[in-house]
Structures are given as structure tokens and as C-alpha cells.
Structure 1
């Protein structure tokens, strides 16, 4: 879907057609819309292709001949797994967003709908001006870094609730959720580090022209990204330690169950041994009447139970 927006008198309005100094938002574009971007707007084909590649990592690319700059950044996304029916199965991942700065226009290209572009389109972010391309770019980066922080706090709350459920019952669902959150943090950490590298390249001012008023905004973006990286590392370490602790608890519980079952098996084997001995076709056994082996078996079981109980083998 292609949409055109332009800031007029401090307010961003949607346009019916392409105009100079406007923002072109391309979300999941069709083949016809891709051709429009390349032929009518003039976006380089390789820039469009890179922006729509799910595996593309964050970087900056510049084409001298076309005088176009492509900035690809990873933004966070929350989605439910196929079997998900509750919040506890929420999964987090990262996807690329392409931003093309060219003469007369700024273009954003992404493969899926995302909250960052939606906030920009609905005017939820103040201070946006489509004619000020560098500042517009920094607002997008700031919103993405803030979204990372929001999702990291959600992951922390979700892991805490899952941990409480694990204290009550060791179910596979909670363990799988914890593994999913740990994987999400790995995605976040990798994407945040590549985004940080991209921001550092922008800060040098060689590929993208920086104005004096943009320095403070860029520093705010870097602070948010650094905070997100620190939070991601902290939560990842906590979650990893929690998973190791629960793995030890599960292993210990299994050992306890196996120990109790082994003790019960030994106690129950004593009567079988005695009855098997007296069941042999041999003459001259003491107390050949059925009462004696029965009483002997009961006494032997009680003695064995007392010994195991004293050694605390039933816990």
C-alpha cells in the first residue's frame, strides 16, 4: 500500500498524489507499487529490494550517481505463535525498515505493517516535518528505540508471570514460553547492536547531512538505544540464570521421584523373595505353614521401611 503525506502548517496531511517534499509510505507494496516507486519516484531497484528482504541487517548505503541514501534499521515486532491463544505465548522478533532519502522525497519501505509507521501516519509524534528529511529520519529512529524499550519491559513482566506459574507447576508450556522469550532477547540484542553501528555512522555526518538542531535529537536516540542494549543484556542474563535454575530444579525433582520409586521397589521385592523361596519344591524348610512366611515378609518389609525412613529416603 502506498500513501503520501506532507507537513503543512505544522500538521501532517495525507495527499491524494505525489508532491514535492512529501513522505511516501510503502507498506507491503504490490508489484505495481514497486514499479511506481522505481519508475515514477526514482527509487533505485536495489534499495527497494533490500528494504523488502526480511534477512537484511541494519546498514547505510549511498549511491553517488542517483544521490540517494538508504538507511535500513531493525524495528521490534510482537506476534502470537500459530498455536497461541493467550498472551503467555507471545513472541517477539525484529524486522527491517528501509528509509530512502532522495531529492524531493523521503520514502519508507517495509514488508509488514508496524506501529512506528502507524504512529507517524496518524500524527502521534510531534515535531515532524516531511521537508526536513534528516529530522524526519531521527524521529523514526527515536520511535523505534522507544518501541524496543516498551517491548523489553513487556518481556520482563511476561517472564516474571511465567516464572510464578513455574513455581506452582512445571509444565512444558511455561518452559517453552521462557525459551521463546530468551530467543526474543537474542533477536533484540543483535538488532540493537547493528542499529547502534548505523547510528554511529549517521553521527559522523558523512553520508547524511546533520544540522545543528538535529544533534540533540540524535543524542537522544543514541541514549535510548544504549539503554535498550543494557536492559536487553540484563534481562537476558536474568532469564538465562532462571532457566538454569529451573533446569536444576526439574533434574532434582526427577532424582527424588526416581529415589522414592527405587525404595518402594526394594520394599515390595522383599515379600516376593521370601514367597519365591518358600514356593520352591524343597522339603525341610522351617515354618512351612503359610502363616510363617507371611509374617516374615511383613516383618521384613516393616524393618526395611523403618531403615529407609530413618535415612530420609522417602523425600
Structure 2
């Protein structure tokens, strides 16, 4: 899908026909080959730049070719209640245009729409790039806090139920933290690379940075570092919690098995005595005695009580 936008003052215009006019934002979502060729012709962007983000395993990086700058960053996505993942997003700066390429619709680019047109300008490509990166870092922070609240909720459920389902949910959240940590570190390297590009006077024709843009880039770096710290902290907490609850569940299982073993021992006593008196032999209080049955029952019950007391003293009951 190809959408084309251009800022006009405080409004964002959506273009219906392809144009080479300056300041157009080409937004490609899971594009077809025809759409890629169309954008490549209109912007003179290298085809390998346009296809870079179409690989789900593409790592964050920057690349410069001729007058084009490619920035690939991994953005966070939520795929379910407990499922979080990352997705590559390519941002291409050409002398006259900005191009974004992604495999899926995402909230990062979705926040740049006509209702928020006052906050960004497609003509100011460098600032727009930094705003996209800042929005991406903000969503990482938001999802990390959301995961933490979900962990607290699952913890309360675990304290009551101790079922495997909650542990599997925590494991899914742990996977999300792992993806976030790897992506945020790679994004941090990209931001440091952009910082060096900004200071290179020979590349000023590709990326023009003004004072406000410098402050914005610093804010992006700070947000990214904060997200990394939060992911590491909550990941350690989650790992410790999973280990603790796994130990608690294992201990509860041991207690149940100990109780069942004790009950088996206690039930074996009357079974053994009944077997003795059920033999075809002449024994005291046998079948010929009028109260023989009740004597056997009382005797078995007394031995069971004595055995239960002994097991209780040893902490097995």
C-alpha cells in the first residue's frame, strides 16, 4: 500500500497521484513491486534501500549512498495481550523527499496523521526523521510499563491459583523483553551513528540539522537509554519472579506427594490387619467371636491413630 502526504501549513494533504514535488512523504506499507518501482522513479531512492525493511530479521543500521540516507530502526509492536515483538522500519531521506517502508501498519507512523499535522512537517525531513525515532522510543517505554502492569496482574493470579498457564504467560512477556532489549541496543547504535553524521560537514547536504533538531535528537537518545534501563530492570524482576513461583509450585507438589505417601502408609495398616483376620485360620477374635469384627475395627483404628500421630510428630502430615 502506498500513501503520499505533504504538509501545507498546519494541515496534511493526502495526494492521489504520484508527484515529484519537493517535501512529499511516501509511506509504503507491505508494498508491491509496482509500488516500489513507482517510488524509486519519483524519489531516485535506491531499490535496495526500499526493500531493506521488507526483511523481518533486518537489523537496525544506517547507510549512505549518493545523496540518500537509509535509517533502519526496529519499532515495538503488540500482537496480543501478552505477545510483544519488534518490526523493522526503514526511513529514507533523499534531497527532496522522505520515504518510510514497513511490512505492517504500526502505531508509530499512525500517529502522524491529519489530526496531528501541526506537530510535524514533511518538508523538514531531518526533524521529521527525529520525530519518528522519538515516537518509536516513546512506544517502547509505553509498552514496557504496560508489560509491568500485566506482570503485576499475573502475579496476583499466581498467588491464588499456581497454574502453569500463568507461568506460560510470564514466559511470553519475558520473550517480549528479550526482543525489546536487543532492538533498543541496536537502535542506540543507530542514534549514535546519526549523531556522528550530524557533525560531519561533508554530509550536510544529506541531513541538515538545526539547533531544535539537535535538542530533539538528544531527547531521542535519552528516551532510548531510559527504555533500555527499564527493560533490563523489569526483565531481571520478571526472571526472579518466575524462578520464585516455579520453586513455590515445585514445593507445593512435594508437599502433596508427602501427604499422599503418608496417607498410603496409614491406609496400609487396617488393610494388613484385615488381611490377617480374613485368613482361613483360627486366630483370636476370629469369625466365631460375636464381637470379633468390632474388635478388629477398633484395633485397626487405634493403630492408624498411633501411626498418624507419629507421622505428625515428624512433620509428614
Task: Provide TM-score, normalisation by structure 2.
Answer: 0.90
- CA deviation profile, 1:60-88 (whole Å, cap 9, x unmatched): 11213xx21111001110112xxxxxxxx
- Superposition RMSD in Å: 1.8
Quote the Cα distance in structure 2 between the aligned partners of 1:240 and 1:120: 36
Q: Which one of 301, 304, 314 corresponds to residue 304 of structure 2?
A: 301
Quote the Cα distance in structure 2 between the aligned partners of 1:234 and 1:195: 19
Matched, 1:288 2:286: yes
Quote the Cα distance in structure 2 between the aligned partners of 1:174 and 1:105: 48
Q: Which one of 182, 202, 219 corresponds to residue 194 of structure 2?
A: 202
The equivalent residue for 2:146 is 154
Quote the Cα distance in structure 2 between the aligned partners of 1:135 and 1:123: 19
Unpaired runs of at least 5, structure 2? none
Q: Aligned in 2, Cα 1:124/1:172: closer, same or farther, shift over 3 Å?
A: farther
The Cα of 1:49 is off from its aligned counterpart by 1.8
Quote the Cα distance in structure 2 between the aligned partners of 1:78 and 1:274: 65
Contact in 1 for aligned 2:36/2:50 (Cα 8 Å): yes
Query: How many residues are treated as equivalent by the alignment?
Result: 303
The equivalent residue for 2:162 is 170
The Cα of 1:126 is off from its aligned counterpart by 4.5
- CA deviation profile, 1:16-43 (whole Å, cap 9, x unmatched): 3322221111112123212212334332
Q: Which one of 181, 202, 211 corresponds to residue 173 of structure 2?
A: 181
The Cα of 1:311 is off from its aligned counterpart by 3.2
Contact in 2 for aligned 1:38/1:45 (Cα 8 Å): yes
Quote the Cα distance in structure 1 between the aligned partners of 2:256 and 2:117: 58
The equivalent residue for 1:278 is 277
Between stretches 205-214 and 126-135, larger displacement belongs to 205-214
The equivalent residue for 1:23 is 25
The equivalent residue for 1:86 is none
| Residue pairs, 1:260-271, within 5 angstroms | 260-271=259-270
The equivalent residue for 1:85 is none
The Cα of 1:230 is off from its aligned counterpart by 0.7
The Cα of 1:130 is off from its aligned counterpart by 1.6
Q: Aligned in 2, Cα 1:125/1:76: closer, same or farther, shift over 3 Å?
A: farther
The equivalent residue for 2:54 is 52
Matched, 1:225 2:224: yes
Quote the Cα distance in structure 1 between the aligned partners of 2:79 and 2:114: 22
Contact in 2 for aligned 1:119/1:125 (Cα 8 Å): no
Matched, 1:95 2:87: yes
Quote the Cα distance in structure 2 between the aligned partners of 1:9 and 1:148: 30
Quote the Cα distance in structure 2 between the aligned partners of 1:125 and 1:72: 24
Quote the Cα distance in structure 1 between the aligned partners of 2:150 and 2:127: 35
| Residue pairs, 1:63-82, within 5 angstroms | 63-64=65-66, 67-80=67-80
Unpaired runs of at least 5, structure 1? 81-88
Between stretches 115-124 and 189-198, larger displacement belongs to 115-124
